[in-house]
Amino acid sequence: MMLKDGTRLDADVYRPAVPGSYPVLLQRQAYSRRIACSICYAHPAWYASHGYMVVVQDVRGRGTSEGTFRPGETEVEDGAEAVEWAARLDGANGDVAMYGFSYQAYNQLLAAAGDCPSLKALAPAMGPWNPAHWVYENGALQMKHMIDWGIQITAEAARRAGDDEAFSALQAASANLPLSGPVTAMPQLLQKYRRYSHVMDWLETPVDSPYWDRISPVKSVEAIRARHLPMLFVGGWFDPFLPATVEAYRALATSNSDTKLIVGPWIHFPWTRKVGAVDFGPEAQRNVDLDHIQFFDRALKGLPGKAEHGRIELFDMGLKTWRPYDQLPDRTHPLFLSGTGRTSMDSQDGVLSPQQSTQENVEHIVHDPWRPAPTVGGYYGAPMGPVDRRVADERGDVLTFTTETLEQAMEVVGEPEVELDLSCDRPSFDLSCILSVVKPDEMTLQISSGYAHYRNAAPGRYRLTLAATCATLNKGERLRLSIAGADYPAYPVNPGTGEDPVISPKTHAVVTTIAVWHGPSCPSLLRLPLGRGGEIAK
């Protein structure tokens, strides 16, 4: 395919065995069209066997396509041209849908903002929605994610350029992230080879830059809505793009009645039943390929039937089964934080209770940049997913607040919110909040998390919305909120000086003390989203 600007894009075309006129499934790949998202999806030949032409195209500057890869910058125009080109292929009936996960989800949403009348449906899984939030979470650089991905992108560009030395150095760094330089978030290796990719430009672009809007589907949300495209969104409870997937679904769900959200207990890939330390059972091994075929059959072939089990299907991590919802529940139940001032020293001292304590008190997080609170499980741990975080919770720089043992099951579903009364002895601080279920044997497994960077801290109330979750807590279990001043290396260490953690040298970092106040005059609390009939007995 030749773009209007003369750039050649290469693609593979898979056709059904029987000649005829077929709708097209288009996947625009940033990681080689030969891979074709086969780490999560059936091979394109399988989709072709179900009566579709499948086109897998290398995007500009990737695989064997010409040009330079600059994420998002030309995807609206390139994607729209690709759709119309695919619609005119021999054997195509003129109707095109797009599918794929991660970057391949992002470029679908951008293409939908372009001039491509042949585009009839989208199936974006686990991809960005607002690129500023792709790079930053509540002002905090998603460092491990950006550096890990940046090394991969840069290595592929070096390979294309025939630079064996650069490729080998970057490939070696991918197994052991190069975080030992003077500025952690600015690896010297990426600086050395910055000519090969966008990565250093992104790291040097602040979260409030208008650049992010220029490559964001959000800026074109009204145009995308106006197309009334059916869409199938797929997310994972331990995928870093979970908030983006939920946000995109919410923004676009009303534009077509056949828009669906499926969220499983998965990391970014693979989408399997065993995640972290938990085997979520046979239902977690969902046939997502069949979900796609059923969706495309409705959207492109007009076959009878509609989405089953409600517009939203969430995997309940406690019951290990799928649950239908028409929308994410928004009913919340307050749980108040209390303790004796020793919650950092005793993981059993802090309490989460529906009853407000009558005593005023304060807990202290002493964040030492020499030994920051570590990343454990979740989006960015090794391994990712739900793993036992007891050792982290027992650290002296982590506050823990835990409910009494539940006397009955409780359905937690939606987005938890933490509201804390805080003060700090430095100009800035970070806040990590992890929500976990504590099993009867004390195993502590994460079900939600949130992180924020506060550049200009002042005493007052701070609100932090955690990622959506769905987990029924069973009788005999407890719920725990863990609070720390770091989550390293998922995010860079806040130096505490008010400097930007992305560019601040390690030598500038100072010990920071964060005070968490609780009691009648300063009620710090967790707003817990509950499903049908769920509550904690008072």
What is the per-residue pLDDT for 534? 58
What is the per-residue pLDDT for 307? 54
Encoding tokens for residue 86?
Answer: 């695919």
256 touches 244 (CB < 8 A): no
- Residue 306 pLDDT greater than 70, yes or no: no
At residue 52, φ and ψ (nearest 5 deg) are -135, 145
Encoding tokens for residue 427?
Answer: 């100009």
Of the candidates 202, 203, 209, 143, the residue with the CA atom closest to the CA atom of residue 177? 143
Of the candidates 314, 359, 370, the residue with the CA atom closest to the CA atom of residue 337? 359
Radius of gyration of the chain (CA): 24
Three-state DSSP class for 97? strand
Encoding tokens for residue 358?
Answer: 């009558």
Structure confidence at residue 105 as a pLDDT band (50, 70, 90): very high
What is the per-residue pLDDT for 233? 98
Encoding tokens for residue 132?
Answer: 């500023």
325 touches 310 (CB < 8 A): yes
DSSP string, 13-54: EE--SS-S-EEEEEEEESS-TTTTTTTTS--HHHHHTTT-EE
Compute the Cα dihedral for 37, 40, 41, 43 and give only its sign: positive
What is the per-residue pLDDT for 330? 83
187 touches 169 (CB < 8 A): no
Instruction: Measure the CA–CA gap between 251 and 245, rounded to whole angstroms.
Output: 10
Q: How far is CA 239 from CA 59, 266, 327, 417, in A?
A: 24, 7, 20, 19
Q: Find all residues with CB under 8 Å of 324, minimum gap 6, and list them.
A: 309, 310, 312, 313
What is the per-residue pLDDT for 535? 61
80 touches 109 (CB < 8 A): no
Identify which has the larger pLDDT, 307 or 458. 458
What is the per-residue pLDDT for 397? 97
Q: How far is CA 505 from CA 47, 186, 455, 487, in A?
A: 50, 10, 16, 18
Note the Cα 394 to chain centre separation in Å: 27
Which residue(s) pair with 26 in the sheet?
Answer: 55, 98
What is the per-residue pLDDT for 129? 98
Instruction: Name the average pLDDT for the chain.
Output: 96
Instruction: Measure the CA–CA gap between 160 and 413, rounded to whole angstroms.
Output: 46
How many C-alpha atoms does 246 have within 13 Å on its Cβ side? Answer: 22
Listed range (309-313, 338-342, 507-511) with the worst mean pLDDT: 309-313
Is residue 348 packed enough to be buried (19+ CB in 10 Å), middle (13-18) or exposed (0-12)? exposed
What is the per-residue pLDDT for 328? 85
Query: What does the pLDDT look like over 121-163, one tens digit per residue?
Result: 999 999 999 999 999 999 999 999 999 999 999 999 999 999 9
Instruction: Measure the CA–CA gap between 243 and 263, rounded to whole angstroms.
Output: 11
101 touches 240 (CB < 8 A): no
What is the per-residue pLDDT for 226? 97
What is the total residue count of the chain?
538
Average pLDDT over every residue of 293-300: 97
- What is residue 404's DSSP assignment? P
What is the per-residue pLDDT for 536? 60
Q: What is the pTM of this model?
A: 0.96
Q: Are strands 92-101 and 22-29 parallel, antiparallel or unpaired?
A: parallel
- Residue 322 pLDDT greater than 70, yes or no: yes
Q: How far is CA 221 from CA 76, 227, 251, 252, 403, in A?
A: 13, 10, 8, 8, 41
User: Tokens 């001292």 identify what position?
Assistant: 349
Is the preceding peptide bond at 520 cis, omega within 30 degrees of 0?
A: no
> CA 472, 476, 477, 478: dihedral to nearest 10 degrees?
120
Q: What b-and-e string marks burial along 309-318, b requiring 16 or more CB atoms within 10 Å of the CB?
A: eebbbbbbbb
- Residue 532 pLDDT greater than 90, yes or no: no
Q: Find all residues with CB under 8 Å of 1, minimum gap 6, and list them.
A: 8, 9, 10, 11, 57, 81, 82, 85
Residue 99: how many other CB atoms lie within 10 Å:
26
261 touches 249 (CB < 8 A): yes
At residue 329, φ and ψ (nearest 5 deg) are -60, 145
Average pLDDT over every residue of 60-65: 97
- Residue 533 pLDDT greater than 60, yes or no: no
Query: What does the pLDDT look like over 183-221, one tens digit per residue?
Result: 999 999 999 999 999 999 999 999 999 999 999 999 999
- Residue 538 pLDDT greater than 80, yes or no: no
What is the per-residue pLDDT for 253? 95
- Residue 282 pLDDT greater than 70, yes or no: yes
Query: What does the pLDDT look like over 372-391, one tens digit per residue?
Result: 999 999 999 999 999 999 99
- Residue 26 pLDDT greater than 60, yes or no: yes
Of the candidates 292, 261, 490, 483, the residue with the CA atom closest to the CA atom of residue 374? 490
Q: What percent of the chain has pLDDT over 70?
A: 98
- Residue 481 pLDDT greater than 80, yes or no: yes
Instruction: Measure the CA–CA gap between 335 and 406, rounded to whole angstroms.
Output: 14
Average pLDDT over every residue of 488-510: 97
Structure confidence at residue 348 as a pLDDT band (50, 70, 90): confident
Instruction: Measure the CA–CA gap between 312 and 263, rounded to whole angstroms.
Output: 8
- Residue 537 pLDDT greater than 70, yes or no: no
